[in-house]
Amino acid sequence: MYFLPRSVCKGLTMRGQTLSLYDPSGIERKRKMKEKNASSGYFVLLGFSNWPHLELVLFVVILMFYMMTLIGNLFIIFLSYLDSHLHTPMYFFLSNLSFLDLCYTTSSIPQLLINLWGPEKTISYAGCMIQLYFVLALGTAECVLLVVMSYDRYVAVCRPLHYNVLMHPHFCHLLAVASWVSGFTTSALHSSFTFWVPLCGHRQVDHFFCEVPALLRLSCVDTRTNELTLMVMSSIFVIIPLILILSSYGAIAQTALRMQSTTGLQKVFGTCGAHLMVVSLFFIPIMCIYLQPPSGNSQDQGKFIALFYTVVTPSLNPLIYTLRNKDVKGAVKRLMGWGREM
């Protein structure tokens, strides 16, 4: 009988598990342990580390946009709640949109600011899962809510005599709940599929937050099924809502052009134009990211596109809806006591 030297036997022991020379599963066991270590540790969010000279500038700019998002959206929420003249379906849905934008930006921007400020750019595995879930849930819910808002405008312009019946408060609440539930349910499916994919061992996510395409690039297996699922679900919650929104505004445009009142026509195009601008700023960047395979995206380009719809768009929504909105201006005057009730 032959015996191996102690040094060799020591090399065949890994964390308390002895790997037999005659056990072909030893290599497989190592691979599984690497995957386990990757999934139980943390991720490194590379973000904009390729441009270290831009990180301080990005920190200041993003912080300014984030503060604009917080102030602007909280302003709409509180004003809609405090002023009874704004207790209408349009401002109820606008308040929901503002709350969605607050949650959406908060799910990713604070982590980005921390990573831009200091050398540490890590996020725990659990933190990455939670961030991915909420980013997907809130983004999907916003897609559905924008459809609901376009339907509200369609009823207001095309069927004004039936508006109070069709947009009953109880029905409006159901539509809002449906938007939120659809987002969180779909996100559960997406997140599960993404985190079931085994990782190759390295933890460097080439993005500034945990996003599906960036995480799929870490996989050491074929991800075509995941990419197909992503494209199908994105088509359902991006293409179909966009078609419904454009159909609603096509009907609104036809009705508005038949109006003889110039004031009514200006009011319709003012309100609907603001909503269409919000839709464009939200849907166009998302289509650039989610409606093509992750391998088809330029990673640096994808970061800046994602930066636009996670940072810039939510901060512009309050400005778009309030700058030329007479109802909001009147509510502010009443709240500050600057004018009589209208």
Q: Considering Cα of 285, then 286, then 291, then 294, what sign does the dihedral take?
A: positive
pLDDT for the residue 65: 94
Greatest CA separation for the chain = 104
pLDDT for the residue 213: 81
pLDDT at residue 26 tops 70: no
pLDDT at residue 199 tops 70: yes
pLDDT at residue 229 tops 70: yes
pLDDT at residue 34 tops 70: no
* Mean pLDDT, rounded, for 189-212: 82
Structural contact between residues 320 and 277, judged by C-beta atoms closer than 8 angstroms: yes
| N-term to C-term CA, the chain | 102
Strand bridging mode 13-14 / 17-18: antiparallel
Query: What CATH number is given to the structural domain containing 212?
Result: 1.20.1070.10
pLDDT for the residue 11: 43
Considering 51-60, 160-169, 207-216, the range whose residues carry the highest mean pLDDT is 160-169
The two three-digit tokens of residue 242, written as one number:
């966009």
Low-confidence winner among 12-16, 232-236, 302-306, 316-320 (lowest mean pLDDT): 12-16
pLDDT at residue 226 tops 60: yes
Q: What is the total count of domains within the chain? A: 1
Give residue 234's domain range: 41-335
pLDDT for the residue 304: 83
- The residue with greater pLDDT, 222 or 110, is 110
pLDDT at residue 38 tops 50: no
Average pLDDT, the chain: 81
Gap between the Cα atoms of 188 and 180, Å rounded: 13
pLDDT above 70 covers what percent of the chain? 80
Residue 133 is assigned to a structural domain of this protein: yes
pLDDT for the residue 197: 80
The two three-digit tokens of residue 211, written as one number:
């996003």
pLDDT for the residue 201: 64
Tell me the pLDDT tens digit for each residue of 114-156: 888 877 888 888 898 999 999 999 999 999 999 999 999 999 8
pLDDT for the residue 17: 43
pLDDT for the residue 16: 40
* Mean pLDDT, rounded, for 313-342: 77
Residue 14 is assigned to a structural domain of this protein: no
Low-confidence winner among 23-27, 168-172, 230-234 (lowest mean pLDDT): 23-27
pLDDT for the residue 214: 82
> pTM value?
0.81
pLDDT at residue 178 tops 50: yes
pLDDT at residue 29 tops 60: no
Residue 9 is assigned to a structural domain of this protein: no
Residue 158 is assigned to a structural domain of this protein: yes
* Mean pLDDT, rounded, for 274-297: 77
Residue 308 is assigned to a structural domain of this protein: yes
Residue 85 is assigned to a structural domain of this protein: yes
pLDDT for the residue 295: 55
| Distance (Å) of CA 328 to CA 77, 84, 86, 313, 318 | 12, 12, 8, 20, 11
219 DSSP 8-state letter: B
Structural contact between residues 91 and 153, judged by C-beta atoms closer than 8 angstroms: no
Q: Is 34 exposed, middle or buried (0-12, 13-18, 19+ CB in 10 A)?
A: middle
Residue 342 is assigned to a structural domain of this protein: no
